[in-house]
Amino acid sequence: MIERAAFGRTGHESSRVVFGAAAFMSIAQDKADAVLPVLREFGVNHLDTASAYGDSELRLAPWLRARRAEFFLATKTDERTGDGARRGLERSLGRLGVDHVDLIQLHNLVEPDEWETAHGAGGAVEALSRARDEGLTRFIGVTGHGLRIATMHRRSLERFDFDSVLLPYNFSLLEDDGYRAEVEALLETCAGRGVAVQTIKSVARRRWTGGYSGPRFSWYEPLPEGAELRRAVQFVLGRPRLFLNTSSDLRLLRSILEAASAARHPPDDGELEADSTRLAVEPLFDGAELERI
């Protein structure tokens, strides 16, 4: 079983691995339903989806009809205006078949103009705060991609008391000294304020190379099953208070869960550097032309 920890100040003890329901973007219901016993086997009790994830919310709805109390339920909105965010949340509630979510997150809030709109008068933050007061969500979070996001999350936390943040976290990205420094500063802020921290791209290998012609279940190439993936998972979970969101490649789900539930032996930098060299791991973001997904 995967250990559980306080998800920030929410009062919920979440499994330290969160099921990333982006994996349900475009699969049939029977294939989605086959995942539920796997999550229950390992004690995963936290689901993360988004309105932008294709059919994901619809695929979770049958689970929630039968087992709503078993899961902390999070979704996301791409909308930046108040009216748009309210409509998006109401649409997500309808698609999920629930009267509230536990967490609504502003999805990939990193661009300065979008940030100003979301935090300004009549913006998404204001609308989602009202929705929280009405009981449509219990908590509000913010997510993002790229090397700028730790800095933007710190800026967001200065403007609004978000309950959670989500950002990329893996060894190759943290080799960037600037990103590592901003991540460490963000983690310090979050620890002091009881803000939950979720990680993504933790098992990323690199962007797809031109010579690959096989199936793609993610916009990036993940690490293959094996010792390297296990060390990548344990690298994240070796850091107290971090939560790891699973890959959108369902083929890796059991391997990730097994790595997370195994006796923990956090890898040292030498092991991770050797893995990176052996598998030609490359950072997904560089702060410039590779910043957008």
Residuewise pLDDT in 10s, the chain (293 residues) = 999 999 999 999 999 999 999 999 999 999 999 999 999 999 999 999 999 999 999 999 999 999 999 999 999 999 999 999 999 999 999 999 999 999 999 999 999 999 999 999 999 999 999 999 999 999 999 999 999 999 999 999 999 999 999 999 999 999 999 999 999 999 999 999 999 999 999 999 999 987 777 788 889 999 999 999 999 999 999 999 999 999 999 999 999 999 999 977 889 999 999 999 999 999 999 877 677 77
The stretches of the chain forming alpha helices (DSSP H) are 29-33, 36-42, 56-67, 82-96, 112-119, 124-133, 149-159, 171-174, 177-193, 227-237, 253-261, 269-279
pTM of the model: 0.96
Which of 93, 91, 94 lies closest to 73, judged by CA? 93
Question: Sign of the C-alpha dihedral, residues 104, 105, 107, 111?
Answer: positive
- Strands 101-106, 242-245: parallel, antiparallel or unpaired by DSSP? unpaired
At residue 289, the pLDDT reads 66
Cβ-based neighbour number of residue 80 at 10 Å: 22
- Report which residue type is found at 146: G
Residue 96 CA from chain centroid, whole number: 18
Which of 230, 146, 237, 156 lies closest to 190, judged by CA? 156
Q: Is 127 helix (H, G, I), strand (E, B) or coil?
A: helix
At residue 210, the pLDDT reads 76
* Tokens coding 146: 């790229």
Residue boundaries of the structural domains of the chain: 4-207+217-279
Torsion angle (degrees, nearest 10) of CA 178, 184, 190, 192: -130
Query: Among all chains, which residue has been given the structure tokens 């030498």?
Result: 270
Burial of 245 (0-12, 13-18, 19+ CB in 10 A): buried
* Tokens coding 255: 């391997």
Q: Is the CATH number of domain 4-207+217-279 3.20.20.100?
A: yes
